[in-house]
Amino acid sequence: MPLTTELRVYDHDETPPGTWPVFRVMDEDGSLRDPSVGQSYIDSHSPTLDEAHAIKMFRTMARLSQMDHIFLNAQRQGRISFYMSSQGEEAVHIGSSSALTLQDTIFAQYRETGVLMWRGFTMDQFADQCFSNKGDLGKGRQMPVHYGSRALNWHTISSPLTTQLPQAAGAAMAMKLKAKREGKDSSDGVAVCYFGDGAASEGDFHAAMNFASTLETPVIFFCRNNGFAISTPVRDQYRGDGIVSRAKGYGMYGIRVDGNDLFAVHAATAKAKEIALRENRPVLLETMSYRVGHHSTSDDSTRYRSTDEIKKWTEEDNPIDRFQRYCEGKGWLDDKMVAQIMDEERMQVLQALEKAEKKGPPELSTLFDDIYKEKTPELIRQEEALLEHIAKYPEKYQGGGH
Amino acid sequence: MLSSARFSVKNALRLNSRFMSSTTEVPVREALNMAIDQAMEEDDAVYVMGEEVAQYQGAYKVTKGLYQKYGERRVIDTPITEMGFTGLAVGSAYKNLKPIVEFMTFNFSMQAIDQIVNSAAKQYYMSAGDIACPIVFRGANGIAAGVAAQHSQCFAAWYSSVPGLKVVAPYSSEDAKGLLAAAIKDPNPVVVLEQELLYGTPFPMTEEQMGKDFVIPIGQAKIEREGSDVTIVTFSRGVGISLEAAEELATKGISAEVINLRTIRPLDRETILSSVQKTGRVVSVEDGWPQCGVGAEIAAMCMEDDATFDSLDAPVQRLCMADVPMPYAQNLEEAAVPTVGDVVESVSKIMVRQAAA
């Protein structure tokens, strides 16, 4: 795919001829591909992309990376039942999340942990959810990595793929109407909907694109094209030019970005948001990167791809390394600092893990909560029967967990 | 088409009307329209979405006049994608709008069933109370006339098995208006199973029932006819044929109590069980298939309750649609669906049990 240093979001009537180009600011070695253009993007960042901010971004990527590594191992050790990592997509997460605010409402798929992390979800909250313990915001209702946070305007992860796409269009519609009713020119935020290259094959994708366009809703459809859907490589998933090329068919804006380039992801996301808010139209944004890790802890990806391929991406085009090299070039990081940050984040993750492991299971008395806004008589009846039963055999209902 | 007297809901109407001082005859579709109109007038967040609901006035004219009154922002014609518009509506409900999603018939809701069950129904629980979904799914359900297998299925059993959903099934115009109004006001996702064959049937409505504050609480059944020998538990079209059957049974000296469930989830256990305890015999009547149907739930309920089980003088009977996809030919269709005669026979079967010789 051709690379471009021009930040351009294409409308449907002016799409690029041939293969859509990949927008990039920073090369693999951390240097700006086109210094004058690249520097202007960096300089126009809001908030300012200064040393402090850059280190914060690096640190967050480091924390995500450590979390993935440690939680994966925790699953293999039998301490949590399941985990999904984001290895290889750290720049996609932090780059995009740092261009959004809490006014933007997020619908994600399951491989966007870093987006939530940047928004403020703590390691304790992550660990509590994965351990499904009594501190879990989700009250022990969901499998690991199905995070939810009303406070951070992040919709609880829902397993069926792609259902979040038309929902995001609907949420954006509601946000647009709310702004209208309040006499505002535009909505306070956009809906941002993350999904993968495989999810884009579902019928819901087509319906969502169509609706977002015809109803004119401020939503960013953010496709993380990482090359795989479990074992299905993109060659078997579609034959068109990735996902972004479909934008033209729906009358939408589109842009393709180098997902391993933190600056490019940030700039493109900010631009997409600006357009969506100003024009009340959806934008299809596709990041190109590589899923370094397995699909989940239930997968062994070496069964369908070579370890050489994985190694190549890890060593030659690593998003964290690329950003690190840029920061080193600016004198903001050196080996010692990097090692220290990695170590600090590792400790933080380990502590959260250990703390969460000891917290104990959620209260059985919450089993019948939140089915409806108010409990129906039948539920109350069942709950009373259960609590009575537990009171009779307390020793049979202690502890547990999966 | 379905002109035989045994099948006539108009007969049920005559039997059903009360001679009140000021009632107006209102067809069910107009009662539904009233409920939606009044809700939209009162609450700006309420909007209607579906195929043909706006300019066409609704495939069954239930949304007639609403587009003209409220405009395209609140009465939305959708492209043909049930999964798409249901997903969109669910997302908007997550953001505090109150969508009324119309399925042309619930047969088409299967295209959207993942959004209904996996998202709308479960999300409040999965998000531990973070994300509510105040949405209404409504449309024609169950047996129609001459539309065969893919347009005649009853989804009461399917939807009513799901925790997180509420499911109502109106019979009369009063039911239709009161239950739909309650559904729209309810902060939980509610499935409203209407009956195409009843849309044109007029029922008497009082001023109060036509007013904007009229609501029938969800979860409460109605005893349409009191009796002492047998309890007939039913909903929707089944109410009409059961009331007719009750008349016929009366001539044979059998006093039947007819319960209109009105709500399928949550079921009004108290009304059902106390009636069965009174009569000792029960027949459930539904337009769905037998296996794992509403009747199966009624039977289980009667046996699980000690007092009710003790009071049973006969096994619970269930009358359902034949265990076949609905055929098209008129004679086949008539043979496959519960009729007044079938209700009478089901009751007669359990009135006197002959001991084996």
pLDDT tens-digit map of B183-215? 999 999 999 999 999 999 999 999 999 999 999
Q: Are B310 and B352 in the same domain?
A: yes
Q: Are B17 and B130 in the same domain?
A: yes
CB contact under 8 A, B81 and A181: no
Q: Is the model's pLDDT at A291 over the cut of 90?
A: yes
Q: Is the pTM of this model over 0.80?
A: yes
Q: How many interface pairs between A and B have CB atoms less than 8 angstroms apart?
A: 157
Domain presence at residue A265: yes
Element (H, E) at A58: helix A51-76
- Distance (Å) of CA A330 to CA A55, A91, A298, B8, B13: 12, 19, 41, 85, 85
Q: What is the pLDDT of residue B6?
A: 42
Among B180, B210, B240, residue at a domain's last position: B210
Residue range of the domain that includes B38:
3-210
Q: Is the model's pLDDT at B273 over the cut of 80?
A: yes
Q: Are A371 and A327 in the same domain?
A: no
CB contact under 8 A, A211 and B267: no
- Which residue type is seen at B326? M
Domain presence at residue B216: no
Q: What is the pLDDT of residue B20?
A: 52
DSSP string, A90-103: HHHHHHHHTT--TT
Among B170, B186, B210, residue at a domain's last position: B210
Question: Over chain A, what is the mean pLDDT?
Answer: 95
- pLDDT, tens digit, for every residue of A55-99? 999 999 999 999 999 999 999 999 999 999 999 999 999 999 999
Which chain B residue has its CA at the smallest distance from A209's CA?
Answer: B84
Q: What is the pLDDT of residue B354?
A: 47
CB contact burial A263-279 (16+ within 10 A = b; e otherwise)? bbbbbbbbbbbebbbee
Token pair, residue B99, equals: 């969508």
Q: Are B171 and B47 in the same domain?
A: yes
Report the largest interatomic distance among the alpha carbons of chain A, rounded to a whole angstrom: 74
Ramachandran category for residue A210: left, alpha or beta (phi over 0 → left; psi -120 to 50 → alpha):
alpha
The number of folded domains in chain A is: 2
- Which residue type is seen at A379? L
Which chain A residue has its CA at the smallest distance from B84's CA?
Answer: A207
Domain presence at residue A246: yes
Minimal Cα–Cα distance from A192 to chain B, Å? 12
Q: Are A127 and A39 in the same domain?
A: yes
Q: Are B173 and B258 in the same domain?
A: no
Q: Are A368 and A352 in the same domain?
A: no
Q: Is the model's pLDDT at B313 over the cut of 70?
A: yes
Q: Are B201 and B235 in the same domain?
A: no
| B352 vs A281, more confident | A281
Domain presence at residue A190: yes
Q: Are A374 and A272 in the same domain?
A: no
Residue range of the domain that includes A382:
364-397
Q: Are A314 and A368 in the same domain?
A: no
Token pair, residue B246, equals: 């009750």
Q: Which residues in chain B have Cβ-Cβ distances shorter than 8 Å to A165? A: 87
How far is residue A289's CA from residue A197's CA, in Å, rounded to a whole number?
A: 11
The number of folded domains in chain B is: 2
Q: Are A168 and A290 in the same domain?
A: yes
Q: Which of B44, B79, B123 sits opposite A158 (nearest CB)?
A: B123
Q: What is the phi/psi pair of residue A254, to 5°? A: -150, 155
Among B182, B210, B238, residue at a domain's last position: B210
Q: Are A269 and A371 in the same domain?
A: no
Q: Which of B88, B125, B269 sits opposite A211 (nearest CB)?
A: B88
Q: Are B168 and B241 in the same domain?
A: no
Q: What is the phi/psi pair of residue A186, to 5°? A: -145, 165
Angle at A383 between CA A79 and CA B218, to 5 degrees: 120
DSSP string, A359-396: S-PPPGGGTTTTSSSS--HHHHHHHHHHHHHHHHSGGG
Say whether residue B38 is in contact with chain A using an 8 A CB cutoff: no
Q: Is the model's pLDDT at B163 over the cut of 90?
A: yes
Q: Are B34 and B162 in the same domain?
A: yes
Say whether residue B267 is in contact with chain A using an 8 A CB cutoff: yes
From the list A1, A6, A7, A2, the residue with the least C-alpha distance to A270 is A7
From the list A111, A17, A46, the residue with the least C-alpha distance to A269 is A46
CB contact under 8 A, A160 and B86: no
Minimal Cα–Cα distance from A315 to chain B, Å? 38
Minimal Cα–Cα distance from B124 to chain A, Å? 6
Domain presence at residue A46: yes
Q: What is the pLDDT of residue A45?
A: 78
Q: Is the model's pLDDT at A342 over the cut of 60?
A: yes
Q: Is the model's pLDDT at B5 over the cut of 50?
A: no
Q: Are B190 and B284 in the same domain?
A: no
Whether this model's ipTM surpasses 0.95 comes out as no
Residue A269: pLDDT band (50, 70, 90) is: very high
Token pair, residue B14, equals: 């005559």
Q: Which residues in chain B have Cβ-Cβ distances shorter than 8 Å to A146? A: 126
- pLDDT, tens digit, for every residue of A295-315? 999 999 999 999 999 999 999
Q: Which of B151, B174, B224, B297 is catalytic?
A: B151
Which of B47, B95, B122, B274 to mutate to test binding with chain A, by most A CBs within 10 Å of its CB?
A: B95
Say whether residue B43 is in contact with chain A using an 8 A CB cutoff: no
- CATH number reported for the structural domain that contains residue A218 in this entry: 3.40.50.970
Query: Average of pLDDT values for A117-132?
Result: 97
Q: What is the pLDDT of residue B2?
A: 40
Query: Average of pLDDT values for A173-189?
Result: 94
Query: Average of pLDDT values for B68-81?
Result: 92
Domain presence at residue B153: yes
For the question of residue B25 being annotated catalytic, the response is no
Query: Quick check: helix, strand or coil at residue B104?
Result: strand
Domain presence at residue B37: yes
Q: Are B264 and B197 in the same domain?
A: no
Domain presence at residue B215: no
Q: Are B140 and B64 in the same domain?
A: yes
CB contact under 8 A, A167 and B219: no
Residue for token digits 């039997």? Answer: B15
- pLDDT, tens digit, for every residue of B106-139? 999 999 999 999 999 999 999 999 999 999 999 9
| A400 vs A147, more confident | A147
From the list A216, A178, A155, the residue with the least C-alpha distance to B47 is A178
Domain presence at residue A402: no
- pLDDT, tens digit, for every residue of A355-375? 999 999 988 888 899 999 999
Residue B9: pLDDT band (50, 70, 90) is: low
Measured distance between the N- and C-terminal CA atoms of chain B, rounded to whole angstroms:
45
How far is residue A209's CA from residue A246's CA, in Å, rounded to a whole number?
A: 9
- CATH number reported for the structural domain that contains residue B246 in this entry: 3.40.50.920
Question: Over chain B, what is the mean pLDDT?
Answer: 93
How far is residue B319's CA from residue B346's CA, in Å, rounded to a whole number?
A: 7
Q: What is the pLDDT of residue B16?
A: 52
Q: Is the model's pLDDT at B52 over the cut of 60?
A: yes
Q: What is the pLDDT of residue A395?
A: 86
Q: Are A294 and A386 in the same domain?
A: no
Q: Which residues in chain A have Cβ-Cβ distances shorter than 8 Å to B166? A: 372
Q: Are B29 and B76 in the same domain?
A: yes
Q: Are B179 and B250 in the same domain?
A: no
Lowest mean pLDDT among A37-41, A134-138, B195-199: A37-41
CB contact under 8 A, B87 and A165: yes
Q: Which residues in chain B have Cβ-Cβ distances shorter than 8 Å to A371? A: 124-125, 163-164
CB contact under 8 A, B130 and A107: no
Q: What is the phi/psi pair of residue B286, to 5°? A: -150, 160
How far is residue A118's CA from residue A100's CA, in Å, rounded to a whole number?
A: 10
CB contact under 8 A, A139 and B128: yes
CB contact under 8 A, B83 and A203: yes
Neighbouring CB atoms inside 10 A of A99's CB total 22
Lowest mean pLDDT among A44-48, B17-21, B76-80, B161-165: B17-21
Q: What is the pLDDT of residue A364?
A: 86
- Distance (Å) of CA B71 to CA A18, B2, B54, B67: 42, 38, 8, 5
For the question of residue B151 being annotated catalytic, the response is yes
Which chain A residue has its CA at the smallest distance from B47's CA?
Answer: A174
Q: Is the model's pLDDT at B17 over the cut of 90?
A: no
- CATH number reported for the structural domain that contains residue B190 in this entry: 3.40.50.970
CA–centroid distance for B107 within its chain = 15
Q: Which residues in chain A have Cβ-Cβ distances shorter than 8 Å to B130? A: 137, 148-150, 156
How far is residue A285's CA from residue A265's CA, in Å, rounded to a whole number?
A: 10
Residue A260: pLDDT band (50, 70, 90) is: very high
